[in-house]
Amino acid sequence: MDTLTTIKSSLAQMTPAIVLILGGSVLLAASMVLKGGPQRDVYGQRNAMGLLSIFLLILAGACGFFRELPADLGNGLFRFDDSALASERLALLGGFLLVLISWSTAPKNFLGEYYGCLIIMLGAIPVVGASNDLVSLFLGLELISIPTYIMLGICKNDNPGAEATIKYFLLSAFASSFFLMGLSYLYGVSGSTNLQLIHEALGFEGGKLTMLAIMLVLCGLAFRITAVPFHFYAPDVFEGTSLTMAGAMSYLPKVAGFVAMIRILGPDMSPSAMSAVVPVLLVCAGLTMVIGNFMASAQNNLRRLLAYSSVAHTGYLLLAITALLRDNAEPNVLFSYLAAYAAMTLGFFACLGEIEAAGGRTHLVGDLSGMFYRRPAASIGLTVCLISLIGLPLTAGFWAKFMVFMGASAAGMTDPMSIFMAVLMAFNAVIAAGYYWRVMSKLFEKSDANVPLRVFRPSLFLAYTICVVLTLVWFFVPAVM
């Protein structure tokens, strides 16, 4: 296939990402028009921006549905396989839920900037998922990072918000330098930026410079997925920003980071390289699970608890990556977990958002005391999401954790460390059940604050209703995830 044909075909296949990135840019430009005086129609602008964002997501989904995937695109910038399609679907799923959650919570003075950055972030995830070149991979990841800085800065303009923004910006730039240096070493030892050619040239035979490059890349990606020891920013950022932004940060960078990890490591690693990389990933997974869950157990601040919970789930997902590299699990194990994680985590944030919008408090775990008697619908949604986060049957979280556990333990037939990691995962699931149960029990305990919260936000109600339905349905049809 000649170069021009490859470029044309690649652009045709990347139509969903192009629609989202261009659409997000238009929304950013619209922010100049939306600036007005005190008489401006804030509610009308909220509805307009929300509807335009939903339209862009539907248009992107339609473009992806009606295209025909080519059998081969050669060694171009993009590669369209199951990982590319899964990342695109995860972006659209998370994007639809986040737009609904944002409908009532987006900063009223920066609606164009907020929705524009959010849609661009969603368009960047398919770019990362389909990347077949170091350049396109790095650009896709930066298209996620840069809008995140802007969104953090505009969501809250108080001191904690400013601290969260500057902390994330500085640490993200630091992590990107690790990542970029690793990419430069990969280029230096292979002579190409194309990932397929890099895999063919090196076979990932485990040379010292190659292994250093891979470790630097993993350090850069560990920040994005909040893996230990690059997780320190998460509690402060989650506490300092808005609920909606915390929900977006708990999901979108995680999807991009894990998809990028699949692209970099690939299925072509040699046994010597795998023997060096897999133990590092297993140790990182173990530390991430243990530190995330133990720190979450000690939290009374609900935002910090959710941040450490997100860290713990990264540990489970790292186990899925190691099982994938060892051919003990299919890629859909990782993507199924991310889909279930989207439903239960974003649903949790949507429920908290409705409670806050109705006049309740969600700062501390104790603030949820007796919430079932004040806001029953949101409390039921929180309960379902918490049960799924624990991993109990009748929820998608059960199959998500079970498939990761089976993939990790299957490797233990030849590696005792993998059996240990599977047991450690089960132990951590018990620890996590303790603090999730503590939150859930607060919802149903008697409290002096029994005044009903009657303010209704249709978009937030719709968001967590969809999440609850998906969480329950995916238990019976896990293959759909």
Domain ranges of the chain: 1-170+229-260, 270-481
pLDDT in the model for residue 73: 55
Please tell me the number of Cα atoms within 13 Å of 435 on its side-chain side. 23
- In this prediction, residue 82 carries a pLDDT of 81
d(Cα 74, Cα 162) in Å, to the nearest integer? 46
Q: Give the integer Cα–Cα distance in Å for 345 and 46.
A: 24
Residue 338 near residue 90, CB atoms below 8 Å: yes
Contact 119, 56 (CB under 8 A): yes
- Give residue-wise pLDDT tens across range 339-394: 999 999 999 999 999 988 887 888 888 888 888 888 888 999 999 999 999 989 89
Q: What is the pLDDT, as a whole number, of residue 434?
A: 92
What is the 3-class SS of 426-474, one letter each residue? HHHHHHHHHHHHHHHHHHHCCCCCCCCCCCCCHHHHHHHHHHHHHHHHH
The 3-state DSSP class for residue 131 equals strand
Long-range contacts of 363-366 (CB under 8 A, 24+ apart): 363/301, 363/302, 363/303, 364/300, 364/301, 364/302, 365/299, 365/300, 365/301, 365/302, 365/305, 365/438, 365/439, 365/442, 366/300, 366/442
Cβ-count burial 120-132 (b if 16+ within 10 Å, e if not)? bbbbbbbbbbbbb
Would the CA dihedral through 23, 24, 27, 32 be positive or negative? negative
406-435 as b/e, with b when 16 or more CB fall inside 10 Å? ebbbbbbeeeeebeebbebbeebbebbbeb
Torsion of CA 140, 146, 148, 154, to 10 degrees: -150
Over the stretch 405-427, which tens digit does the pLDDT of each residue have?
A: 887 777 555 667 778 888 898 89
Residues of the chain with pLDDT under 70: 1-7, 34-40, 69-75, 202-206, 267-272, 327-330, 411-415, 448-451, 478-481
What residues contact 101, with CB distance under 8 A and at least 6 apart?
244, 247, 346, 349, 350, 353, 459, 460, 463
Burial level of 113, CB count in 10 A (0-12/13-18/19+)? buried
Residue 221: predicted pLDDT: 93
Distance CA 377, CA 185 (A): 53
pLDDT of residue 159: 83
Residue whose structure tokens are 């470029």: 7
Sign of CA dihedral 144, 147, 152, 153: positive
Paired residues of 301 in beta bridges: 364
pLDDT at 81: 81
- The single residue listed with the structure tokens 């775990």 is 365
What 8-state DSSP symbol labels residue 225?
Answer: T
